[in-house]
Amino acid sequence: MTTKPKTISKQLLRRDVLRIGGGAALSMPFVSRAWAQTTEINMLAWYGHGEPDMVGAFEEANNVKFVPKYYAGGDNMLALIAQSPPGTYDIILSDGEFVQQLNAADYIEPLDANDYPFDDMLHEDFTKFPGHWDGDTLFSMILRGGHLGVSYNTTAMSAEEASSYEGFWKPELQGKVGHFDWHLPSLGMMSLKNGNGAGLWDLSDDQWQAVQDTTMSLRSQVGGFFDYGGTFNGLKNGEMMAMCGIGDWITGVLERDGAPVASVIPKEGGIQFTESYCIGKGSSKADLVKSFIQYMMSPEGQVKSAQMVAYPGFCVTKAGRALLQEVDPAEAARSHQIEGMPNEPIALINEGRIHYRDIPQQQTLEDWNDFWSEYKNA
Partner 1 sequence: MSGPRKIDIYALTWRLPIILWQLVFFIGPVLFMVAISFFVVKNYRMTEAFEFVNWQRMLTRGFFWDSYWYTLFIASLSATIAMLVAFPAAWALAFRASDNLRRWAVFLLIIPFFTSYLVRTFSWYVILAESGVLNAMLGYIGLGPFRMLNSHFGTIIGYLTLTLPLAVILQTVTMANVDKTLIEAARNLGCKPFATIWRIVLPLSKTGFIVAALFCFILAFGDFVAPFYLGGSQEPTLPILILDTTKSGQQWPRAAVVAIMMMVTLFTVAFTAIALAYRKPKGSKG
Site residues for partner 1 per CB under 8 A: 72-73, 75-76, 78-79, 81-83, 105, 175, 178, 181, 183, 222-227, 230, 233-234, 237-239, 365-366, 369-370, 372-374, 376-377
Which residue, 125 or 181, is less far from partner 1 as judged by CB? 181
Which residue, 225 or 295, is less far from partner 1 as judged by CB? 225
Nearest distance, CB of residue 187 and partner 1, angstroms: 12
Q: What single DSSP character describes residue 38?
A: P
Which residue, 126 or 232, is less far from partner 1 as judged by CB? 232
DSSP strand pairing (270-279 vs 141-153): antiparallel
Nearest distance, CB of residue 374 and partner 1, angstroms: 5
Contact 243, 249 (CB under 8 A): no
Angle at the Cα of 152 from the Cα atoms of 184 and 222, rounded to 5 degrees: 60
Which residue, 54 or 240, is less far from partner 1 as judged by CB? 240
Which residue, 66 or 368, is less far from partner 1 as judged by CB? 368
Which residue, 98 or 311, is less far from partner 1 as judged by CB? 98
Burial 159-189 (b: 16+ CB within 10 A, else e): eebbbebebbbbeebeebbbbbbbbbbbbbb
Nearest distance, CB of residue 355 and partner 1, angstroms: 21
Q: CA neighbours within 13 Å on the CB side: how many for 230?
A: 10
Which amino acid is present at 220? S
What is the C-alpha to C-alpha distance for residues 215 and 345, in angstroms, rounded to an integer? 27
Which residue, 223 or 320, is less far from partner 1 as judged by CB? 223
Reference 218, options 266, 250, 186; nearest CA is 186
Nearest distance, CB of residue 252 and partner 1, angstroms: 22
What is the C-alpha to C-alpha distance for residues 23 and 17, in angstroms, rounded to an integer? 10
What is the C-alpha to C-alpha distance for residues 306 and 296, in angstroms, rounded to an integer? 11
Contact 150, 266 (CB under 8 A): yes
Nearest distance, CB of residue 179 and partner 1, angstroms: 9
What is the C-alpha to C-alpha distance for residues 351 and 362, in angstroms, rounded to an integer? 27
Nearest distance, CB of residue 76 and partner 1, angstroms: 6
Which residue, 116 or 372, is less far from partner 1 as judged by CB? 372
Nearest distance, CB of residue 157 and partner 1, angstroms: 16
Nearest distance, CB of residue 230 and partner 1, angstroms: 7
DSSP strand pairing (354-356 vs 177-180): unpaired
